[in-house]
Structure 1
Amino acid sequence: MAASRLPAAFLRNLSRPSPRSHIQAQLSLSSRCLALTRPYSSDEAPPPPLLVKLKGDLKTAMRAKDAPRLAVLRSVLATTLNASKTSSPIKTDVQLVNLLRKQARSQRETAEEFRSAKREDLAEKEEAQIKVLEEYANSSGIQTVAGEELRNIVEATMGDLAAEGVTGKSALGEAMKRLFAPGGPLEGKDVDKNEVSTTVRELAK
């Protein structure tokens, strides 16, 4: 098979660093992730409960040598740490669940690429991590809204806008704003914003 047809993730595997440098990199990443477990000062908002669980599970996974869980936790905590240094830090369980869902979607695509390249072993590794991501998202306590339930909520909001004379393209931005506004029907819910946007566009036609 030509190299150009192999998935990018597979090609990256071919150029991995030496075992020694790989181990050093993993230790460095673990140290940065464990740094997130430091106590918060009284001036800081308390960390979201799910983040506290992820931090605790990292230590447990390291002791158990649970490779799929370790890979997931290191990645998620590293992303959370990086986000804390930006203007958009992850401060809520809803944001964390969105991150978990997004990462699961990305790794599902990668698994499909590996399977297309006849690398079932690498596809299975991705799928093992996807199971961990979904486990945390599903046990987060955050209500998931999708499918018919989501469509009904969007329809109700679009109906309110129509009653106010807001229709067509003018309703697109206003609908998204109302759906996710404080007190809105999707505030604090686990939803795929792409699905919400698609549904809003369909109903605005």
Structure 2
Amino acid sequence: MTRIRFRFRRPDGLTDGGSSPRGLVVCTPTSRVVQKDESIMLPLPFVARLPDDGSDLVVALQPTGRDWCWTIREQVSGYTHVRRVIVPDSVQTLDYATLGEASWASSATAGGLVHSMRVYSGVITLDAHVPAASLKPSDNVTVGDTCVDSTGRVWMITGLVDSDVVFGVDTGVTLGGKGERGASFLSGMGRPSDLTQGIVGDTYIDLTTGDVYQLRL
């Protein structure tokens, strides 16, 4: 376990650095975690209250892994803020303010954005032929690419005929609307922000461009 020190201050115009506020922090692991003793830590929250005497709050947290992190919800003096933090394995007490955060990263390579998922503004049916130019993005379309239609259904391209693509496989996956969870995919209009919900490893698709992002540590 790593000890994390929480120190919050509210401006008061009197003291150097501000005074200690009242409030609490809610800590939740983003997924089920198998611990060293083979017990399972469930993705359930626990609450730690800031000390009434104004001293620092120190909480012991399990070090995060490659595929999960801690969601910390700060509820202090009427102010609320949420972070997804990475907790290293350390014998020293670490300041909460210095912890790194998980963030949405574009699925990019040296050759540019990886377009494994595309968007079509209409409704796709089995074996439908659709002009490749009508997909977003429309560059480098190839067999095996997947595409989400206006209903959120995900289809796979199984053939190319002249300038058309053929959708021969219904994947059975339907994306959640506007960021709601659906089969490990998230979606919405526009790029994901720090407020976009998700757990490490989730994939997000921007329905306006087809750009794909992944929540990474």
TM over 0.5: no
Q: Report the TM-score when normalising by structure 1.
A: 0.29
Q: Report the TM-score when normalising by structure 2.
A: 0.28
- Structure number with the higher helix fraction is 1
Larger Rg: 2
